[in-house]
């Protein structure tokens, strides 16, 4: 049984979405991890930093969350083999913590966007995407006001753009919906779409389950 963690902050609102998905995965023990507690290296095989409004998005989205004990200890856990996925506000926290490069700006149309969008897998990303998944299209929900991802040419060399919008909803550079970076024995992925909100049969919308099933398969192996 492998432990998959969900990092909770005051203001997280997609934490239990992820928990409900994980508790239905065979061989996975989901665990909530409070932001004030350090993350022990080797404890979690997977760690999700969920969407929401950590600390009310005061100052800047993710700016306070990056100072937590959990985030300060996360790099060592990643180096030792934890695979981290930051979703929406979780992506913002990873950027503020400089675990991923670039910035998220206000959407190009200056409006909050909440809808399903079509995305295409563009590269492999262990453990989330395999070679066979490249060019596969997924319909995933988005819900953000600051989802316009921008980065410099120097930053671009540090990451892989592993999932892209088919029709760009927010102005992100290169239509980027999610990025990926290897770190030691682990990895970091940040994305704006919410796969955890598209992973339950009851919702009749399960494209997001590809992420979890791939991770189960390759991490078990």
Q: Which residues are catalytic?
A: 88, 194, 196
Can you tell me the distance from the alpha carbon of 16 to that of 64, in angstroms, rounded to the nearest whole number?
21
- Cβ contact 5:179 at 8 Å: no
Within 8 A by CB and 6+ apart from 184, the residues are 78, 79, 80, 81
Phi, psi dihedrals of residue 55, rounded to the nearest 5°: 55, 35
Can you tell me the distance from the alpha carbon of 171 to that of 155, in angstroms, rounded to the nearest whole number?
18
Can you tell me the distance from the alpha carbon of 8 to that of 60, in angstroms, rounded to the nearest whole number?
18
DSSP, collapsed to helix, strand or coil, labels residue 36 as coil
**Distance, CA of 114 to chain centre:** 17
Can you tell me the distance from the alpha carbon of 75 to that of 70, in angstroms, rounded to the nearest whole number?
10
Can you tell me the distance from the alpha carbon of 140 to that of 172, in angstroms, rounded to the nearest whole number?
16
Within 8 A by CB and 6+ apart from 106, the residues are 145, 146, 148
């Amino acid at each position: 049984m492998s432990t998959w963690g969900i990092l909770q902050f005051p203001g997280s609102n997609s934490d239990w979405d992820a928990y409900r998905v994980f508790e239905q995965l065979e061989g996975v023990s989901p665990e909530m991890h409070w932001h004030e507690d350090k993350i022990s290296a080797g404890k979690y095989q997977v760690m999700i930093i969920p969407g929401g409004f950590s600390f009310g998005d005061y100052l800047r989205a993710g700016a306070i969350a990056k100072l937590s004990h959990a985030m300060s200890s996360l790099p060592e856990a990643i180096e030792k083999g934890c695979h981290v996925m930051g979703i929406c506000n979780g992506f913002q926290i990873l950027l503020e913590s400089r675990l991923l490069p670039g910035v998220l700006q206000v959407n190009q149309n200056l409006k909050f966007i909440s809808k399903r969008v079509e995305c295409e897998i563009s590269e492999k990303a262990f453990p989330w995407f395999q070679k066979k998944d490249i060019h596969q299209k997924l319909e995933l929900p988005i819900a953000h006001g600051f989802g316009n991802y921008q980065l410099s040419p120097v930053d671009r060399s540090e990451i892989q753009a592993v999932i892209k919008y088919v029709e760009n909803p927010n102005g992100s550079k290169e239509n980027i919906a999610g990025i990926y970076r290897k770190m030691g024995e682990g990895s970091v992925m940040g994305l704006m779409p919410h796969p955890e909100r598209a992973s339950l049969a009851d919702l009749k919308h399960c494209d997001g389950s590809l992420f979890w099933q791939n991770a189960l398969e390759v991490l078990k192996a």
